[in-house]
């Protein structure tokens, strides 16, 4: 893998967009976390989020509409804001930018409008790079920026490699 990328959890209105970005990253050799959706109403939500962010080399967020993500979960805008705030704290310490795509029409919902303003006004000064435009243009921009990630570490000691051999391979 080329590196670990945190791709923020989104609500149902942006799920297909997230999956498209995730798929492109996986095809290019990046490891994408979280691998499974967070359950935000459990006690270990914050710990899981912190663990994923601490090991990630870059963070990508999608800001879309404000539909609720589920009856028992935080609403989408709250979940997005929490993930953004934690990502800023973590990535600022690593001196790494956070990439945010603001979906076209995200300003239509009042709650999402305040989140968009927060990203553009406050987080832009905290190392967040936001992008307004189409998804394909955003993905192109993301891939270009991720090209700077270092190549995977090389194995130093060959004794650390496991080799499976079947008896038919010995001949």
Express each pLDDT in 35-47 by its tens digit: 888 887 777 888 9
Confidence category of residue 150, pLDDT binned at 50, 70, 90: very low
pLDDT of residue 71: 38
Q: Give the C-alpha separation, 118 to 156, whole Å.
A: 45
Q: Is the pTM of this model over 0.95?
A: no
Q: Please answer whether residues 106 and 74 qualify as being in contact, where contact means their C-beta atoms are separated by less than 8 angstroms.
A: no
- Is the pLDDT at 133 greater than 60, yes or no? yes
Q: Please answer whether residues 106 and 65 qualify as being in contact, where contact means their C-beta atoms are separated by less than 8 angstroms.
A: yes
- Is the pLDDT at 152 greater than 70, yes or no? no
Give the residue among 18, 22, 29, 15 at the shortest CA–CA distance from 149: 29
- Per-residue pLDDT tens for 40-86? 777 788 899 999 999 999 999 999 865 444 434 467 778 888 999 99
């Amino acid at each position: 893998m080329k590196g670990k990328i945190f791709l923020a959890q989104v609500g149902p209105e942006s799920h297909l967009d997230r999956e498209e970005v995730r798929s492109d990253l996986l095809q290019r050799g990046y490891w994408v976390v979280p691998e499974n959706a967070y359950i935000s109403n459990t006690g270990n939500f914050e710990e899981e989020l912190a663990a994923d962010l601490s090991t990630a080399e870059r963070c990508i967020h999608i800001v879309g509409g404000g539909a609720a993500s589920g009856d028992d979960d935080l609403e989408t805008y709250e979940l997005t804001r929490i993930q953004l705030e934690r990502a800023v704290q973590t990535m600022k310490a690593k001196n790494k930018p956070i990439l945010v795509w603001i979906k076209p029409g995200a300003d239509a919902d009042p709650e999402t409008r305040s989140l968009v303003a927060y990203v553009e006004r406050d987080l832009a000064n905290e190392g967040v790079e936001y992008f307004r435009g189409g998804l394909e243009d955003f993905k192109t921009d993301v891939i270009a920026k991720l090209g700077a990630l270092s190549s995977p570490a090389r194995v130093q000691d060959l004794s650390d490699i496991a080799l499976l051999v079947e008896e038919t391979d010995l001949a």
